Amino acid sequence: MQMTSENSILTTKFAWPLGYYSDSVHVGLKPNQDDMGWLYSKVPAAAAGVYTTNQFQAAPTKLTKQTINSHHQIQAVVMNSGNANSCNGPSGWADAMTMQKIAAKKLAIDPNLVAIASTGVIGEPLPMAKIQAGINHLALSQSKGITKAILTTDTHPKTITLKCVINNRPVTLTGFCKGSGMIHPNMATMLGFVVTDAAIEGSQLQKLLRTTVDETFNQITVDGDTSTNDMVMVMANGLAGNESLNETNEDYPTFVTAFKQVLTKLAQEIAGDGEGASKLVEVNVTGAYNHTEGQQVAKAVVGSNLVKAMIFGADANWGRVMQAIGQTTAHVDVNGVRVAINGTQLVKNSVATEFDEAKVAASLKNSQVTIEVDLNAGSAAGTAWGCDLTYKYVQINASYRS
């Protein structure tokens, strides 16, 4: 791959940035597939994280938040699926700390450089004998098996690798995540990880992550539920050799753009892979009073069960979009709203227009549906992503533990 410009940002085949190693293993938390692994940087990396606001925050999430907030630096993260280690009381906290210590010993690093991430069934004790055996079997390789080992009801891994040039140095950003159900984040998604070989201070990385999450992961919804284990974490080990990034660096905007592309792509992947989903739905709001209200309306529309069911049924029932808009507290010109679906205008000045019902219904059968809303109340905009609501969603969640 050849870059033609210092500011080029190119999507490329999945690869770890310089200095990162990973591995995965099957320990028996789930049947017949890898369910545990780790990601390791050969040098301590600047780190940042955002975490679920659910009051029942899981022990591994709490521990990772505490670890990263103490010095914004980690060197490894150990992950498992099949068991959330959530709502397990003091023993859950002890088990999370034990995972941290076992991994640190195996890697010969300080426990305070190890983050923990778990996902799966809530309220079941973590089988520590299996966990310890799994960690002891993990190696340092270039495997991407960890991107599958963290999956629960996901239908496929969600990954992206971008390359760009920062201060005349090639920089790689790789992201992967899991999330399919219990997705209505107020921070991030179920589990998301971004690693880069760029040099950037931890405090700057934390600021960038927080801002970017608000524009990406916080703008997706599958089912209106927020997990106890939601977390997005970033590591930057600096091995690309660029000048440490901040707002004064001339190439900082390039890194910010690439970083947002990574998080946006992962957020869209989660929305499109919602439990039982058959369609990715994007809602674009214009004419909002301010950006916050534009984001609020976009997420309200994409998160409405009536809208989601309408899209699943390929029914151009635009009244469901209107009710979702009206339930928000955003400024709206109630006599001037416009609504379009897949490029066809259905509503103008808050009343129906003439449109080809069959054409719109046919377009609603596509794998991607775009709804455009103009609130006619200002000049700001907002975007959110979600999916349709299908029979399969109920089927999956009616028997999640079995």
Say if residue 275 carries a ligand binding annotation: yes
The verdict on whether 344 is a catalytic residue reads: no
Length of the chain: 402
Q: How far is CA 138 from the centre of its chain?
A: 25
Say if residue 174 carries a ligand binding annotation: no
Alpha-carbon separation of residue 136 from 26, 34, 80, 106, 361 (angstroms): 12, 15, 14, 7, 55
Residues 6+ apart with CB under 8 A from 21: 39, 40, 41, 42, 140, 141, 142
Say if residue 5 carries a ligand binding annotation: no
Q: Alpha helix (H) ranges present in 278-334?
A: 291-303, 305-312, 319-326
Say if residue 379 carries a ligand binding annotation: no
At how many degrees (to 10) do helices 202-215 and 252-272 cross?
40
DSSP designation for 260: H
Residues 6+ apart with CB under 8 A from 272: 279, 280, 368, 385, 387
Say if residue 61 carries a ligand binding annotation: no
Task: From the candidates 64, 161, 189, 390, give the one annotated as an active-site residue.
Answer: 189
Alpha-carbon separation of residue 253 from 172, 195, 211, 365 (angstroms): 15, 18, 14, 38
Residues 6+ apart with CB under 8 A from 253: none
| CA pair distance 392, 398, nearest whole angstrom | 10
Return the biggest CA–CA distance within the chain.
Answer: 69
- Indicate if the alpha-carbon torsion angle 195, 284, 310, 214 is positive or negative: positive
Say if residue 152 carries a ligand binding annotation: yes
Residues 6+ apart with CB under 8 A from 112: 67, 70, 71
Please give the annotated binding residues, written as ranges.
152, 178, 189, 275, 397, 402
Please give the annotated binding residues for substrate, written as ranges.
152, 178, 189, 275, 397, 402
Catalytic residues: 189
